């Protein structure tokens, strides 16, 4: 599995370690690093060492796995009746539905709970109770190659029509991918949601939370994508259904892409290759989209071993402002708490992240609080590319996805 943010060990025992007042907490976490120098294992070791200095009766054992393995590892432990005390992974809803998790109110101080950004806290809730604690977040913006745009004589687009005009000029100049549209199975759900939001639609109804995948707005958005971008050969030589995000990002850093949707980690990769780029909100029908797509990864606490008091105390430490700030800066991610968002929004050293920070408070997240989302997400990855393919019909594909959502909802 891949982190919701799009980023690409041996477990110890649990329970009492010695006397009756000594507790060992086991945490399974995902790795956000791209080398040994900045591995999450290094981050957690430093954090735990600091915590244990002031809590001699608590030992925290952390096992870090790649995003390819971490969700599966946690599932295997839970299925074997050996749930860790804490898991920092990509999804929480199935465990919450199975009544395996502590709620936030059973663990955290009032201050810690209140500090979570409201839309992230809401995304962590199931039936009104918060079980998923946001751990890392990100938003998406439109990246554009400044050099290619200057050669084409265009500024960053603000509307769909301006995006098409820029793409036509880029194509005329021989740009390989005027607009890269990755609707391949790696992360099609992200590209899809960003376009739906820009077309005044989305995956769910904002008032009821029910799936509306085949809404008129969504159909109109994909009709436009198929006819105006794909049909006019403005998306490059790889069919959108076969183009994955990682390949699109690599093409951007190679200077072969005029525009694409991206997250903060693309900044470092593009800068390392010498690509001059800009970032703007996703263009919309009549102006910049007012809502960006937000994503989050989650911390959760399992009830199996008890230790609610110790878990809560450790999490209060994890979510201390200083620690949230350090983690966000280490991995070019956005903070999940309001005080740190305030700090980073005005700090000079975080200026590169400001466009993403500005988009976070009004962003919309996947419907991760629904256990149906896993199946719906998988169906979108598998099918949405057909909606813009030759011979494909957006309305038909979106109806199929809505039927999948309805089936999964009834099962839930």
Do 304 and 100 touch, CB atoms closer than 8 A? yes
Looking only at the bridges linking them, the beta strands covering 23-30 and 58-65 are parallel
pLDDT at 3: 65
Rama region for 236: left / alpha / beta (φ>0; ψ in -120 to 50; rest)? left
Domains and CATH numbers, the chain: 23-137+295-365 (3.40.190.10), 139-293+369-411 (3.40.190.10)
Nearest to 136 by CA among 62, 41, 31: 31
- 276, with CB counted inside 10 A (0-12, 13-18, 19+), is middle
d(CA 66, CA 7): 10
- Give per-residue burial for 326-339: e unless 16+ CB within 10 Å, then b: ebbbebbbbbbbbe
Q: What is the pLDDT of residue 33?
A: 85
SS (H, E, C) the chain: CCCCCCCCCCCCCCEECCCCCCEEEEEEEECCCCCHHHCHHHHHHHHHHHHHHCCCCEEEEEEEECCCCHHHHHHHHHHCCCCCCEEEECCCHHHHHCCCECCHHHCCCHHHHHHECHHHHHHCEECCEECCEEEEEEECEEEEEHHHHHHHCCCCCCEHHHHHHHHHHHHHCCCCEEECCCCCCCCHHHHHHHHHHHCCCCCECCCCCCECCCCHHHHHHHHHHHHHHHCCCCCCCCCHHHCCHHHHHHHHHCCCEEEEEECCHHHHHHHHCCCCEEEECCEECCCECCCCEEEEEEEEEECCCCCHHHHHHHHHHHCCHHHHHHHHHHCCCECCEHHHHHHHHHCHHHHHHHHHHHHHHHCEECCCCCCCHHHHHHHHHHHHHHHHCCCCCHHHHHHHHHHHHHHHHHHC
Identify the pLDDT of residue 6.
63
Tell me which residue of 75, 84, 8 sits closest to 40, measured CA to CA.
8
The pLDDT tens digits along the chain (412 residues) read: 456 666 543 333 333 333 447 899 999 999 988 778 888 999 999 999 999 999 999 999 999 998 888 999 999 999 999 999 999 998 899 999 999 999 999 999 999 999 999 999 999 999 889 999 999 999 999 999 999 999 999 999 999 999 999 999 999 999 999 999 999 998 899 999 999 999 999 999 988 889 999 999 999 999 999 999 999 999 999 999 999 999 999 999 999 999 999 999 899 899 999 999 999 999 999 999 989 999 999 999 999 999 999 999 999 999 999 999 999 999 989 999 999 999 999 999 999 999 999 999 889 999 998 989 989 999 999 999 999 998 899 999 999 999 999 999 887 6
At residue 24, the pLDDT reads 96
Q: What is the number of residues in the chain? A: 412
- Which residues sit opposite 288 in a β-bridge? 283
CA distance 344 to 138: 13
Whether the CB-CB separation of 283 and 158 falls below 8 Å is answered with yes
Torsions phi, psi for 132 (to 5 deg): -90, 120
Distance (Å, rounded) from C-alpha 224 to C-alpha 388? Answer: 9
Helices 216-224/188-198 angle, 10° precision: 110
CA–centroid distance for 231 within its chain = 29
Closest CA to 243 of 385, 85, 141, 363: 385
Cβ atoms of 180 and 248 within 8 Å: the answer is yes
Give the number of C-alpha atoms closer than 13 A to the C-alpha of residue 53, restricted to the C-beta side.
Answer: 6
Burial track 296-305 (b if 16+ CB lie within 10 A, e otherwise):
bbbbbbbbeb
The model's pTM is 0.86
CA angle 309, 44, 271 (to 5 degrees): 135
What is the per-residue pLDDT for 274?
A: 97
Do residues 84 and 27 lie in contact, with contact meaning Cβ atoms separated by under 8 Å? yes
Q: What is the pLDDT of residue 15?
A: 37
CA angle 290, 291, 292 (to 5 degrees): 125
């Amino acid at each position: 599995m891949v982190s919701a943010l799009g980023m690409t060990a041996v477990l110890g025992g649990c329970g009492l370690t010695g006397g009756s007042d000594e507790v060992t907490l086991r945490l399974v976490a995902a790795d956000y690093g791209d080398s040994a120098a900045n591995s999450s294992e290094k981050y957690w070791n430093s954090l735990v060492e600091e915590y244990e200095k002031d809590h001699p009766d608590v030992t925290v054992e952390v096992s870090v796995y790649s995003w390819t393995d971490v969700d599966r590892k946690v599932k295997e432990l839970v299925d074997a009746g050996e749930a860790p005390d804490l898991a920092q992974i990509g999804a929480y809803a199935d465990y919450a539905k199975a009544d395996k998790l502590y709620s936030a109110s059973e663990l955290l101080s009032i201050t810690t709970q209140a500090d979570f950004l409201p839309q992230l806290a809401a995304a962590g809730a199931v039936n009104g109770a918060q079980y998923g604690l946001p751990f890392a977040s990100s938003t998406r913006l439109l990246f554009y190659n400044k050099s290619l745009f200057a050669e084409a004589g265009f500024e960053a687009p603000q509307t769909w029509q301006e995006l098409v005009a820029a793409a036509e000029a880029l194509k005329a100049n021989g740009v390989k991918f005027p607009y890269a549209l990755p609707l391949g199975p790696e992360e099609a759900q992200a590209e899809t949601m960003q376009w739906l939001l820009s077309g005044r639609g989305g995956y769910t109804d904002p008032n009821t939370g029910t799936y509306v995948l085949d809404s008129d707005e969504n159909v109109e958005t994909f009709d436009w994508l198929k006819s105006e971008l794909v049909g006019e050969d403005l998306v490059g030589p790889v069919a959108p259904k076969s183009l994955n995000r990682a390949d699109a990002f690599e093409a951007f850093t190679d200077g072969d892409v005029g525009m694409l949707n991206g997250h903060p980690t693309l900044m470092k990769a593009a800068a390392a290759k010498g690509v001059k780029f800009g970032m703007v909100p996703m263009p919309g029908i009549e102006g910049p989209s007012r809502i960006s797509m937000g994503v989050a990864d989650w911390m959760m606490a399992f009830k199996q071993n008890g230790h609610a008091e110790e878990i809560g105390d450790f999490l209060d430490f994890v979510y201390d402002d200083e620690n949230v700030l350090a983690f966000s800066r280490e991995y070019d991610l956005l903070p999940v708490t309001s005080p740190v968002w305030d700090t980073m929004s005005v700090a000079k050293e975080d200026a590169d992240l400001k466009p993403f920070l500005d988009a976070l408070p009004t962003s919309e997240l996947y419907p991760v609080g629904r256990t149906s989302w896993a199946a719906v997400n998988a169906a979108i990855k598998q099918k949405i590319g057909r909606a813009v393919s030759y011979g494909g019909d957006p309305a038909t594909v979106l109806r199929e996805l809505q039927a999948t959502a309805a089936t999964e909802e009834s099962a839930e």
